[in-house]
Amino acid sequence: MATETAEQFTTTRKLILHDALAFLTLTAITIALFAVTLLLFHSFEAHRAELAIRWAGRGLAAFQANQPVQAITAYRTALTYDPDQRSYELMLAQSLARAGRIEESYTYFVGLWESRPGDGFINLQLARLAAIRRSGKLSGDPQAAINYYRASIYGTWEGDAIERRRAGRLELARYLIAQHDPAAARAELLVAGGNAPDDSQLDLTLGKLLDQANAPQEALTYYKKALVKQPKNLEALTAAAQLTFAAGDYTTARRFFERLVHEAPENAQAATLLAQSQLLIQLATPESLAPAERVRRILAELPIAKKRLTDCLAAEPSTELQPLVTRWTTAEPTLNRKAFVSDPNTQIAAIQLIDDTELTTDQHCAAPTGTDALLLLLAKSAHPVTSND
């Protein structure tokens, strides 16, 4: 009985040792297989990441070489290996736009926008695409482009956010000008200029855009700012001279043209306008002029204007000129030095008659030449035509 018990114990012990050894062996094999699997998985993932980077590099090279079709293929391949890489998605969307696949690019950017609606860069791209879609008469809306531009301006940016927002505002202003909305463009430009750094190139840009937005006085302000820092800048000198000339400020225009001719003596147009500015200053009859000189100029210009009317009637008889003829006949007794000296109001009436004669004959007769052309410029500067006229 004791012998059987000992044998059973030995047998049981052997079985336990055998099972333990088997368990340990299986555990070791499992661990080894897990390690091999993990190693292979990491190797596979590393290889996928390497392939994604490699294809993305090819995409960037193609994009920079202006080969968007190849860039699209490369970035799509990169995304198959690394589907959550946002930078690849952004480059794919840009490549689609550059390839002219506007609708695909727009849709792709909208998808990116949905996850980050406050991203300044994405909103800027959507604004540009919306503008292109509109100009291409697809399904775009100009208001959508404006809304995206504004979202871009107030969105989040990486890097120099202030500079990027200013650039976006300038781009919006250009778009508004193209959409024939100069008032809105002017408002954006004034905001952009209000917190702008002291930069002459930026001043030039603001001046040009404000001029395009029908804001000549504000444009002139920025051209003058540019000239403070760069007194010999030909672009700013030319623009400032032309703006002051167009505004009828011939004294200031002459100073700008003198500087321009000094810096660019080969500029024939500037020399011509300088000469015209000098003549116009000599013909002008402002109230600030010495009384005797003002009377002298009025008396010298009256016969020129009257001859213009007479020649106009001879060449192009028109009943619309008869009221002007009547005014000349009625005013004839007061158009003399004695009347002008004794009653300054007659000077004003005479100047008005000269201006009206030049303006009216310009509408019904051949273009004036010589002094008549200069008197017409003076009349237009004294009676500017506005958008409400």
pLDDT digits (tens, 9 = 90+) for 333-355: 999 999 999 888 999 999 999 99
User: Do residue 266 and residue 297 come from a single domain?
Assistant: no
Task: Please check whether residues 107 and 206 belong to one and the same domain.
Answer: yes
| One domain for residues 275 and 304 | no
Last residue of a domain, one of 230, 245, 274: 230
Pair (247, 311) in one structural domain? no
Give per-residue pLDDT as tens, 119-173.
Answer: 999 999 999 999 887 554 454 578 999 999 999 999 999 888 999 999 999 999 9
Asked if residue 20 is part of any domain, the answer here is: no
Give the mean model confidence (pLDDT) for residues 268-273: 96
Residue at 11 is within a domain:
no
Does residue 96 contact residue 108 with C-beta atoms inside 8 Å?
yes
Q: Is residue 322 part of a domain?
A: yes
Residue 127 · residue 152 · CB < 8 Å = yes
| 74 plus 144 within the same structural domain | yes
CA distance 245 to 252: 8
Number of domains in the chain: 3
Q: Are residues 198 and 106 in the same domain?
A: yes
Q: Is the same domain home to 99 and 223?
A: yes
What pLDDT, on the 0 to 100 scale, is given for residue 14? Answer: 72
Task: Average the pLDDT over 106-125 and give the result.
Answer: 93
Assess whether pLDDT exceeds 80 at residue 8. no
pLDDT at 317: 80
Whether residue 1 lies inside any domain: the answer is no
Query: pLDDT band at 41, cuts 50/70/90?
Result: low
Angle between helices 344-364 and 322-331 (to 10 degrees): 160
**Whole-number Å distance between alpha carbons of 235 and 3:** 119
Q: Which among 97, 107, 181 is positioned nearest to 142, based on CA atoms?
A: 181
Query: Which residues, including other chains, have CB under 8 Å from residue 3's CB and lie 6 or more apart?
Result: none
Residue 29 lies in a domain: no
| Whole-number pLDDT of residue 198 | 85
Asked whether residue 279 falls in the same domain as residue 352, the answer is no
Do 266 and 205 lie in one domain? The reply is no
pLDDT reading at 10 higher than 90: no
5-20: b or e for each residue (b if 16 or more CB lie within 10 Å)? eeeeeeeeeeeeeeee
- The answer to whether 334 and 348 have CB atoms below 8 angstroms apart is no
Structural domain range at position 247: 231-283
- Domain end: 283, 309, 325, which one? 283
Q: What CA–CA distances, in Å, run from 343 to 295, 330, 335, 338? A: 11, 17, 11, 8
36 belongs to a structural domain: no
Position 383 scores a pLDDT of 61
**Are 308 and 360 spatial neighbours (Cβ–Cβ below 8 Å)?**
no
Whole-number average pLDDT of the chain: 88
Q: Please report which confidence band the pLDDT of residue 382 belongs to, taking 50, 70 and 90 as the band edges.
A: confident
Digit-coded pLDDT (tens) for 176-221: 999 999 999 999 999 999 878 889 999 999 999 999 999 999 999 9
The answer for residues whose C-beta is within 8 angstroms of residue 29's C-beta and 6 or more apart is: none
Q: Are residues 253 and 193 in the same domain?
A: no
Band (300; pLDDT cuts 50, 70, 90): very high
Is 14 among the domain residues? no
319-336 per-position pLDDT tens digit: 889 999 999 999 999 999
Distance CA 75, CA 68 (A): 10
Q: What's the whole-number mean pLDDT along residues 45-71?
A: 85
pLDDT band at 85 (very low <50, low <70, confident <90, very high): confident
Element (H, E) at 63: helix 2-64
Check which CATH number belongs to the domain holding 104 and give it.
1.25.40.10
- The structure tokens listed for 310 are 């007479």
pLDDT at 59: 87
State the pTM of this model: 0.78
Domain limit, last residue, from 240, 255, 283: 283
Q: 152 and 193: one domain?
A: yes
Confidence of residue 385 (pLDDT cuts 50, 70, 90): very low
Phi then psi for 271, rounded to 5 degrees?
A: -65, -40
121 vs 10, higher pLDDT:
121
The pLDDT value recorded for residue 28 is 75
Same domain, 67 and 178: yes
Query: Stretch 265-274: mean pLDDT, rounded?
Result: 95
